[in-house]
Amino acid sequence: MELHGHLLYIDITQICGIGCAFCMYADKHKTGMSMELSTLARENLAALINAPSVKRISISGEGEPLNNAKVFHEILGLSNGGRRFEFITSGFFPHEKMASFYEETDRIVAANGDVCNIRLSADSHHIEKVKWRAHGFSLDYLKHRQPSALSFSFRSIDTDRHFTREYLVEEAKRWGLDADIVPLGPLEDVLVVDGQRFGIDYKNLVHPDADTAHKYLDMHGYIEAIEAKINKRFTFGSLNKPPQANGMDLTVKPNGDLYLYGIENQRLGNIHFDRVRWEHLATHIRETPLARALYTQPLTDLLARCDDTALVQSILVKANNPYWLVKELANHEGLLEQMVSA
Ligand code: SF4
């Protein structure tokens, strides 16, 4: 099995005071923890970040990662150069503080010869909760301050796209910028501002309310939309366009625990206590039946082996996102075994 072009997610905090109604991690926000880096954690993260087969390092959280900006900047400092970072945020800081955060981030990333994309949530759920909105501000910041190593993009869980499109165009206008939307596919738009292009990615909301579920793609519709975007069948792993093979999708949790993204019933170690390298994780995928099946066989083929029961159908309707699906199937004895048994 070829594995190349890995994605490393680092969830640096569980703290968040924003309170989006849909949040899957709300139970962790008040008493949750933020990542701190031990000596071994630094060594492990440096090895994971600097491996040549890593395509991107994505910093986010089970909370708002701006609440642990210090560790984000420490992680950026572990790079030996030539890395692509991404920071996923609601951008809730007051604008002056946001500008200082951008400056410091740009300084570290540029000095190391890396780049960092700031990916701002731009959906109706976040926007109604955030007082200081960073979208128009960030476009203006880019235009006037011209940071050498920062770029911006947007993400949304409004798959009907109406809200996000109107909001971003209006926001740009409020900051004196001419903007337009160019649709690219069922899960992608581009915001064009004064001739410059900014990506907008749409994701399905997990567990939509019964009265809003019709606005989202169902599990099979969502998988089809992803397959149309990547031009191949959907399997787990970090998706790369053909002819490139997929890579590994590794998540580091705020307490240092490691999981393959979406396979959270199998803990793979901890960055504070174990020596972690991509080669060990590749061996795990090759030798573990569940991970191997999910990484090598299209998910819709695997689901066809177990979707004939009312229980699986009810999980499919609610989970609405392939990466949450496995987590929920794992709560019911025998379902995952049935799915991966040849
Ligand atoms: S900003 Fe993110 S972590 Fe915070 S409540 Fe909203 S979805 Fe949850």
Task: State if residue 81 touches ligand 1 by the CB under 6 angstroms criterion.
Answer: no
> How high is the pLDDT of residue 333?
87
> How high is the pLDDT of residue 216?
73
> How high is the pLDDT of residue 133?
95
**pLDDT (tens digit per residue) in 115-148:** 999 999 999 989 999 999 999 999 999 999 999 9
Beta bridge partners of 58: 9, 86
In a domain, 303, yes or no: no
Query: What DSSP string describes 67-136?
Result: GGHHHHHHHHTT--SS-EEEEEE---S-HHHHHHHHHHHHHHHHHHT-EEEEEEE-SHHHHTT-SS--HH
Residue linked to tokens 């476009």: 139
In a domain, 29, yes or no: yes
Task: State if residue 262 touches ligand 1 by the CB under 6 angstroms criterion.
Answer: no
In a domain, 133, yes or no: yes
**pLDDT (tens digit per residue) in 296-311:** 999 999 998 887 788 8
In a domain, 141, yes or no: yes
> How high is the pLDDT of residue 276?
97
Q: What is the CATH number of the domain that holds 58?
A: 3.20.20.70
In a domain, 321, yes or no: no
Task: State if residue 24 touches ligand 1 by the CB under 6 angstroms criterion.
Answer: no
> How high is the pLDDT of residue 84?
98
In a domain, 84, yes or no: yes
Ligand 1 pocket mutation, candidates 14, 23, 27, 60, criterion most atoms within 8 A of CB: 23
In a domain, 301, yes or no: no
Number of domains in the chain: 1
**pLDDT (tens digit per residue) in 222-263:** 899 899 989 999 999 999 999 999 999 999 999 999 999 999
> How high is the pLDDT of residue 156?
95
Would you give the distance in Å from CA 44 to the centre of its chain?
Answer: 21
Find the domain containing 248 and state its range: 6-276
In a domain, 330, yes or no: no
Round to whole Å and give the CA distance between 79 and 109.
9
Q: At what angle do helices 310-319 and 322-329 cross, to 10 degrees?
A: 140
Low-confidence ranges of the chain (pLDDT < 50): none
> How high is the pLDDT of residue 291?
95
pTM above 0.85, yes or no: yes
